[in-house]
A and B are shown apart, each in its own frame.
Chain A
Amino acid sequence: MLSAAERQLVVDQALALIEHLYVHLPLKRAMHAVDPLQRLRLLKRHSATFSEGAFHAELISIFTRLRDLHTNYILPEPFRSQTAYLPFRIDEFFEGNEQRYVVTEVKPGTEDASFKPGIEVTHWNGIPIHRAVEINADREAGSNLDARHARGLAAMTIRPLAMSLPPDEEWVVVTYEAGSSVRERRFEWQAFELGPGDGHDPIAATGDLGFVLGLDAKAELERQARKLLFAPEAVDIARRVQQQTEPAPSSGPMAAAPG
């Protein structure tokens, strides 16, 4: 857990970054009606009264509402290397102008006779699925509505805790159509640690690489998690190739990109 001094340091660094270095601040203020500096000043004043989770949640929210995928607050361990997940993935499709949502992948061992890829999800904890995705999208950093929607949809079932708020709910009841019947199934949110050999850690890049790297780090962490959860054959191939090309084992919780 962060000490009081560490919390002050984190907030001071965020203030310095956004007030003195962040060139997009006037644009972001105009586009999204946000005031991250005032929120940071208030957080600095009251940080001692915040729980550990509330402190991190406020910082994530401040940075998320900049709506900038390349300006992030990255949590320390033990959150940094953890990924929260539900054992399936949903995607959307259109029928006419209507957005609909379908399960596209299920973690091996979780399928049953009716819950499998191809079923259509109608509700999420009793909320119509489209509205549930909209609510989730507002917690994401995309700079426009479509980008936020895409990020919100991805975060319905996978959230790298390094950069995401954990879900408020501890479980999800999914209502879905299987053939002509409507069914429900309950899933508890789980967490696992991205370990060595699971891919380069996109938030560990430093030096010249860190300076030029322009990828969406959270999307990359989600991609790595999806691969581990749903594509064991691909993981197997990647590890065999890695064994031939990188004989030296990586160290640390995640293999750091060369810096």
Chain B
Amino acid sequence: MAKTKSAKDTTPAKSSNAKTLKVTGTTKPMSPRERAAAVDKNIGKSQPLRDFLIAAGWR
């Protein structure tokens, strides 16, 4: 007979594809200089729109 979960058993049921997320590190506030560097890194190479449009043949 299959084992059934009792009403007192408060262990959450796990689905077969359940995955435990482990958040590592902390989120510390960035200084203004760190924020500026992070944004530049995030957006990568930025260029004047005019240069892009000319290179792409729009203008």
Contact = CB atoms under 8 A, between A and B. Distances in A.
A228 B42 CA distance: 6
Main secondary structure on A side of the interface with B: mixed
A107 interface: yes
Given A84-B49, A191-B47, A240-B23, A166 B38 contact: no
B12 interface: no
B56 interface: yes
A229 B39 contact: yes
Given A53-B57, A240-B25, A189 B50 contact: yes
B57 A52 contact: yes
Interface in A12-42: none
Interface residues of B, number: 31
Given A53-B59, A233-B30, A236-B27, A193 B35 contact: no
Interface in B29-59: 29-30, 32, 34-36, 38-40, 42-50, 52-53, 56-59
A111 B59 CA distance: 31
Interface in A200-249: 228-230, 232-233, 235-237, 240-241, 244-245
B46 A191 contact: yes
Contact of A237 (B27, B32, B35, B40): B27
Contacts of A189: 48-50
Interface of A: 1, 51-53, 56, 78-79, 82, 84, 107-109, 111, 166-167, 170, 188-193, 195, 198, 228-230, 232-233, 235-237, 240-241, 244-245
